[in-house]
Chains A and B, each alone.
Chain A
Amino acid sequence: MIRSTNSIYINSIEPSAFDYIELLKIKVMRLAIFTAGVAMIIAPMPLNPFIALGSIVCIALGAGASGALNMWWDSDIDSVMKRTLTRPIPSGKITSDQALSFGIFLSVFSVIFLALFANFLSALLLAVTISFYIFIYTMFLKRTTPYNIVIGGAAGAFPPMIGWAVATNTIGIESILLFLLIFLWTPPHFWSLCLITKNDYSATKVPMLTETHGVEATKLQIFIYSIILSIPSILISFSSIGGLIYLISSIFLNVIFIFNAYLLMINSKNSKKYPFVVEKRLFLYSIFYLFVTFLLLLVEHFSKFFLPSYLVMIEDLLWI
């Protein structure tokens, strides 16, 4: 008894380093690091590895700052939902004020240092990303419209554009396509998660599509978005970062994505033994899809160095 009272008392006044790290939403941060890193590598301008490292750290901290500020604003929702109940603020490990000051500090720090390490364009894009995620998505869209995740998905789509800007100091058509890829990937990815955690959202006042329009409408939207998603995904093949390897693999990936979304749409039964099995499959596949798509861009980039020159020539000829 004494031990549990002690630990609650200590947690509330003295957060540990791990509590602060938890505020950064490491899973979201990983996605930002990976997509921005790939964009830096595949960009046509060579980038000094140390500048790339410094920039990646800034982008990661910026993404983490967004997570901390999001947790600060949404602590009331987090304390109701089972999935988010153990986050640092609702569990009493960190106070709202500590999360707010940590988030603001990291935001300012990451933007200033990205400007110093790389260039002003990438720092501006990082500032826009953090502001969009906090002011537009978290504070406004999330609690007002069921399409919150559609527009809010833009925040998660910016990192490859920032990575591209770090390397080239421009916003090219390639970075816009990468932006669109993640932007259109977010709704089916997040809605499939919402279908699994539907009961969680019904306890809050967040107007998720599953609550306002129902499960069937959400499944239809997922299917529509999975089709639209294939457009930028395949268009990338015809840009300077794409190629034959990417095109063939991308077609396969998109067909499987659409097929999984179709299976979800026509599935009306929920097995009691294996609940949400189709939803979970689509959710996990969406993660795999994005990871492999970016991995393929890397493969395409490095294939130019490793493939025999005649194969590269054939690929170039096919692309003219």
Chain B
Amino acid sequence: MDLNKVENDLNIKRKSRNIWLALSLGLFIVIVFLVTIAKLSDGNLIEGFDHTLRPSLLKE
């Protein structure tokens, strides 16, 4: 078994996997960002219930 070649092949595989992982994480960050923007655009939904009645809790 050619050890140098094995090590070289292993590094190529690792590098390719790391690139894919980085791309997936990047894409996921973008999705989380876009969903956050979408959710923030409807502000009422992110107001937590603080045991006090406020107008936004009442349905129109």
Which residues of A line the B interface, CB within 8 A? 2, 5-7, 9-10, 13-17, 20, 48, 50-51, 53-54, 57, 116-117
| B53 CB-CB contact with A under 8 Å | no
Q: Pick the contact of B35 from A16, A20, A51 — CB < 8 Å? A: A51
In contact, B38 and A51 (Cβ under 8 angstroms): yes
Secondary structure of the A contact surface, majority rule: helix
Check if B5 is an interface residue, CB within 8 A of chain A.
Answer: yes
Q: Which of B14-55 contact A (CB under 8 A)?
A: 14, 16-17, 19-21, 28, 31-32, 34-35, 37-39, 41
Task: Give the chain A neighbours of B37 by CB distance below 8 A.
Answer: 50
Q: How many residues of B contact A (CB 8 A)?
A: 22
A50 to B17, CA, bound (A): 27
User: What residues of chain A lie closer than 8 Å to B32, measured between beta carbons?
Assistant: 54
In the A-B complex, list the 3 residue pairs whose CB atoms are closest, starting with the nearest: A17-B20, A50-B34, A50-B38
B5 touching A6, Cβ below 8 Å:
yes
Q: Are the CB atoms of B17 and A54 closer together than 8 Å? A: no
B32 shortest CB reach to chain A, Å: 8
Contact B38–A5 (Cβ < 8 Å): no
Q: Determine if A10 and B9 form an interchain contact, defined as CB atoms under 8 angstroms apart.
A: yes
- Compute how far the CA of A116 lies from the CA of B46 in the bound complex, rounded to whole angstroms: 12
User: In the bound complex, how far is the Cα of B38 from the Cα of A48, in angstroms?
Assistant: 7
In the complex, the answer to whether B6 meets A10 with C-beta atoms within 8 Å is: yes
Tell whether, in the assembled complex, residue A14 and residue B31 are in contact, meaning their CB atoms are under 8 Å apart: no
